[in-house]
Structures are given as C-alpha cells and as structure tokens.
Homo-oligomer: A and B are copies of this chain.
Amino acid sequence: MRSFRKRLGEAARRNESWLCVGLDPDPAKLPEPLRSLPPLEAVERFLREIVEATRDLVCAYKPNSAFYEALGPEGFSLLRRLIRGIVPEEIPVILDAKRGDIASTARKYAEAAFEGLGADAVTVNPFLGFDAVEPFLRYEGRGVFLLCRTSNPGARDVQDLPCGGKPLYQYIAERAVEWRTRHPEGGELGLVVGATYPEEVARVREIVEDEMLLLVPGVGAQGGDLEKAVRAAANSRGENALVVAARSVLYASPQDDFAEAARREAERLRLALQSALGAE
C-alpha cells in the first residue's frame, strides 16, 4: 500500500484543498426531509449525499466512531460501508476513535480499524504511553494521529499541566517527534491540535518542524478561527495541516437543499484555507 502521507498529499493537490470534513451523523440533527425514514436508512442516505456533494473539495474525511457506535451494531456496519464503499477510493479516511489501551489490546483496536473497517488513519490517545501507540504504527502505509492539544474547554485540565517546566501537550509533541522515527517501515505519525487554541497550535508546529502532519479539528461549530488556526498549523510551505469542519458543513441547511448547502460551506472553507495559506 502506498503511504498515507502520499495518498493524502495527492488528494490535497487534486482537490487543491486541505479541508477534511468530519462525518459525524446525529439522527436528531438530520435535515427535515430525511426524518421520515428509519434512522439507519436516513443516516446512510445523508452520508451518501454529503460525500457526493463534497468529494472534489476535500483532502480527507473523518468519521468519528462514537456516532456510529451510538447506532448499535448496524451503525458499525454502516461505518464499514462508509469507509470501504461510500467514500471514493482516492480520498483517505481518518477514523476518529481516540483509542488507547495496553499493547495486547491496542493490537485488537488496530486490527478493527485498519483490517476490519479499512481506515487509512486513526486517532490515538497518548495517556498510556508509547507501547499503546506502537501497534497502530506497525501498520505500513497507514496514518496515526496522536492527541496533543484537543479542541474542548476541558483540554486545559490535563494537557496544560506543567510537566518538567513545560505544558504536557508540548511534552507529547516532543515525544511524537521521537516516536515518529521508531518504525521507518511503519505508518506515519501525526498530531491532533484543536483550532480553538491557535497559540498552542503554533507552538506545536514549532516543536515538530515541517514534516509532521497536524490534524486540526474545532473550526465552525466549536468556534475556532479558521484563518488563525491554519496559519498556525501549516508548515513553512503552507502544507501538512488538515483542517476539520464537521457540524458547520453537515448541518448547513435543515431542508431539502442540505447537500448543496454543505457543498457551498465546504467550498467557502476550502477557499478561505487557500487564501489564508496564500496570504502568508
């Protein structure tokens, strides 16, 4: 399998976009016209139309596992169908699962994400240390995004704690630089840094230098400023920062025109990203 990095770069160049759309379907928020359908059917149709409307505007899609798990075993089947069939093959899928467990269990999570569901990359929690991350990194050609500084208000409870003279998230970024090179034949290690904290994002980019991929959620519904976030996250060539929007794209309109509205919002974000990066 060609590397995640290459496949992502190709999609970004083809669509001239570093926008990643989060596919987090909530039955309670679906557009009005879909609500008369059975929930699973409504969600699947919603996802198909959103992907069809945005596939030439994104570098990747990011489904969050929680929204599928909440739909029960059939939701898990839908997640597999989404990754293996609904999303076009040339667009990488990042499974946002934030898994973290001891090595023997992490191997099972990696198997579920990469072999079962067919994800191209997965998000992982660093709290258990390197041996919990390694089983994911052993998969050649895949991507692993380690949580560093998340986009939620509570991020500061733990991630900002001063650890040996610096906030914990900076320590995680330093470890990631080191862990990234331990499996040269394995997957690509990147970091998750929330758009809601542009100063912290800039500090992380400084620590990890140009090569590392940063996944930047929190634009849109979570209130992160897109321009500030992407300028802070991109490297010196205006690359390697995937900016994620989910709710603002998915629920751009509650009516029949939801797919067109999603397309308009994705296009707006894509152009704003281009402009922010070009204006540097």
Contacts and interface: CB of A to CB of B under 8 A. Distances in A.
Contacts of A152: 102-103, 128-129, 131-132
Nearest to A247: B104
Interface string A58-89: 00000010110110111011001000000000
Given A73-B73, A151-B102, A163-B163, A129 B108 contact: no
A33 interface: no
A77 B73 contact: yes
Contacts of A171: 161
A156 interface: yes
A112 B70 contact: yes
Interface residues of A, number: 54
Interface in A93-146: 98-103, 105-106, 108-109, 111-112, 116, 125-132
Contact of A157 (B70, B99, B130): B130
Interface of A: 24, 26, 64, 66-67, 69-70, 72-74, 76-77, 80, 98-103, 105-106, 108-109, 111-112, 116, 125-132, 147, 150-159, 161-164, 168, 171-172, 175, 222
Across the A-B interface, the 6 shortest Cβ-Cβ residue pairs: A129-B154, A129-B157, A131-B154, A66-B108, A69-B112, A102-B152
Nearest to A153: B131
Interface residues of chain A: helix, strand, loop or mixed (majority): helix
A156 to B, nearest CB: 7
Nearest to A160: B129
Number of copies: 2
A116 B172 contact: no
Nearest to A131: B154
Contacts of A156: 129
A18 to B, nearest CB: 21
B66 A112 contact: yes
Contacts of A64: 101, 105, 108
A116 B72 contact: yes
A151 B104 CA distance: 12
B102 A128 contact: no
A156 B130 CA distance: 9
A109 B69 CA distance: 7
Contacts of A109: 66, 69-70
A128 B158 contact: yes
Contact of A70 (B77, B111, B153): B111
Contact of A154 (B24, B105, B116, B132): B132
A158 to B, nearest CB: 5
B172 A158 contact: yes
